Amino acid sequence: MISNRSTDILFQLIHSLEKAEKRHFKLYIKRNSARQDLKIVQLFDALEKMQDYDEKILLKKLATVEKPQLANLKAHLYKQLLASLRLLKSADSIDLQLHEQLDYARILYNKGLYLQSLKILEKVKDLALEYNQESFLIQVISLEKKIETLHITRSDINKASILTQEALVINERRLMRTRFSNLALQLYNWYVKHGHARNEKDENGVRAFFKKNLPPDAESNTGFYEQLYFYQSYCWYAFIRQDFLMYYRYSLKWVRLFQKHPKMVEVETGHFIKGMHNLLTANFDLRNFSKFDYYLKKFEAFATTKEANYHDNFRMQAFMYVTSAKVNNHLMKGSFDEGVKLIPEIENGLKEFELYIDRHRVLVIQYKTAMLCFGNKDYNSCIDYLQKIINGPVDLRIDLQCYARLLHLMAHYELGNDVIIESLIKSVFRFMSRMENLTVVEEEMFSFLRKNFHLPTNKLKPSLELFLQKIKHFEKNRFETRTFAYLDIISWVESKVYDKPMGVIVREKYLNSKHR
């Protein structure tokens, strides 16, 4: 999906700009640049009109620019674009506001107006404390120390002790925050590479790593960021191990942390969006239908707010995770015919956010779309979406790569493509074995397909009933639930045994669960 448009950073930046940002840049550059610098406006206009980046075509459009000059001109334009955006967006971000005020304080200090500098630093400190921005507090305290050390300010006689104590407290909090954030990042990285724990070896390795790196007295920390990364660490730890109840508990703590600190939704919008996504995923995995519906409505409402639409990055995240939740809703309720109606919206969103979406998120949404098509008996479309995963590099989500191949095999089986089924069974089995991704359920699946793919439908029922009986024994086995989370094999087999569409089978389970 990602074309060579994404290979040039200047091209990327220009095509990410909104109309207001482009207009502001033109005004900014005309106001602040010399006449000879206006070549960068020509470069900007040429790049803006291009659909894909092509240097040869670009040089033809810029008749007065030689090839050796182009690199410097592009670097200059990139720098000016960032300066224009910083000026335009300074009020949108607490980070930029704090940076700006710190810059003012430094300028005043360098001019010898250190008392004015101290006044600004006090305001910066209050703002940084209000929004839990310890990194800025360190810079403020550092400059305050410098001023108090080098000048007679007539400050409180206890000022030195106060600054020393503040510095010690902030450094301790930053140390804990770093340890928690490192742990959360490492666990998330493990999940992105491998997916869920495949066996006891995986689980024991993750458990040992978690215990070794979890800071002592972790639960006693009260700072916003320490708690945020603590909850995230437990979320990934539980999710990898498929302890979905723990995953739910810590996802809920993650979201409730923002409810306790509502101002932080504006500062850490991305983390809030991710928390909502995890809470919805936890309710999906646990089949908490009413809670899933409740939080989905909340999330959809949030996606329309000012905070969720401040930046392209937040809009993209909200789109991806709301879309993922909507698809999960249909997968959970068996409403595949309604679910496939989301596909044009999904495709449009993927195109709109093409420059920003990482490949991991694209893989997930492609797989979920394929599952909708499979449930709706549109096996050809299912295969088309799976081919995008199968034909890509195998460096992310090994589990997803494996299940894409297994679902691809099942789609060909449904289409009756007997000519290629035998070779597909062998290649998919080899791939999953090589990736150490085979569970007992999957081995039973391959055994069933090898023995029965050539049989006519009217002779299959006894084998299907036996296969169903075998795999249902593993429905509650923790290391086998991974298979059922990715592929609802039980409902697929039941649809054949009971001669009902798969959507009807899933829907009946959903309705029965609701009335328990």
For residue range 391-443, list pLDDT tens digits in order.
887 776 777 888 899 899 999 999 988 889 889 989 988 888 887 766 788 88
Q: Which of 123, 138, 155 is the last residue of a domain?
A: 155
Q: Which of 43, 65, 89 is the last residue of a domain?
A: 89
Quick: pLDDT tens for 239-281.
999 899 999 999 999 999 999 999 999 999 999 999 999 999 9
pLDDT at position 469 over 80: yes
Q: HSE, CB side, 13 Å, CA atoms: give it for residue 258.
A: 20
Q: Are 14 and 49 in contact (CB under 8 A)?
A: no
| 139 and 112 housed in the same domain | yes
pLDDT at position 355 over 80: no
Look at residue 256 and give its three-state secondary structure.
Answer: helix
Task: Give the residue-averaged pLDDT of 492-506.
Answer: 92
Give domain status of residue 124, yes or no.
yes
| 144 and 128 housed in the same domain | yes
Give domain status of residue 207, yes or no.
no
What's the pLDDT at 483? 67
| 29 and 84 housed in the same domain | yes
| 83 and 16 housed in the same domain | yes
| 28 and 80 housed in the same domain | yes
Q: HSE, CB side, 13 Å, CA atoms: give it for residue 456.
A: 2
What's the pLDDT at 4? 39
Quick: pLDDT tens for 136-147.
999 999 999 888
Give the CA distances from residue 209 to residues 156, 175, 198, in Å, rounded to whole numbers and listed in that order: 48, 19, 16
* Interatomic CA distance for residues 490 and 475, integer angstroms: 9
Give domain status of residue 18, yes or no.
yes
3-state SS track over 191-255: HHHHCCCCCHHHHHHHHHHHHHHCCCCHHHCCCHHHHHHHHHHHHHHHHHCCCHHHHHHHHHHHH
Q: Residue 121: which domain range?
A: 94-155
| 112 and 148 housed in the same domain | yes
What's the pLDDT at 211? 92
Q: What percent of the chain has pLDDT over 70?
A: 94
What's the pLDDT at 150? 85
Domain count, the chain: 2
Give domain status of residue 243, yes or no.
no
Quick: pLDDT tens for 312-342.
889 999 999 999 999 999 999 999 999 999 9
Give domain status of residue 427, yes or no.
no
Q: What is the pTM for the complete model shown?
A: 0.80
Give the CA distances from residue 211 to residues 206, 207, 222, 237, in Å, rounded to whole numbers and listed in that order: 9, 6, 20, 10
| 76 and 149 housed in the same domain | no
25 Cβ contact partners less than 8 Å away, ≥ 6 residues apart = 17, 44, 80, 81, 84, 85
Give domain status of residue 256, yes or no.
no
36 confidence band (pLDDT: 50, 70, 90): low
Look at residue 63 and give its three-state secondary structure.
Answer: coil
Between 4 and 123, the more confident residue is 123
Q: Which of 120, 136, 155 is the last residue of a domain?
A: 155
Give domain status of residue 100, yes or no.
yes
| 24 and 79 housed in the same domain | yes
| 70 and 133 housed in the same domain | no
Task: Give the residue-averaged pLDDT of 270-296.
Answer: 95
Q: What is the dihedral of CA 258, 305, 246, 439, to 10 degrees?
A: -150
pLDDT at position 2 over 50: no
| 74 and 112 housed in the same domain | no
Give domain status of residue 34, yes or no.
yes
294 Cβ contact partners less than 8 Å away, ≥ 6 residues apart = none
| 101 and 74 housed in the same domain | no
pLDDT at position 1 over 50: no
| 9 and 79 housed in the same domain | yes
pLDDT at position 37 over 70: no
What's the pLDDT at 160? 80
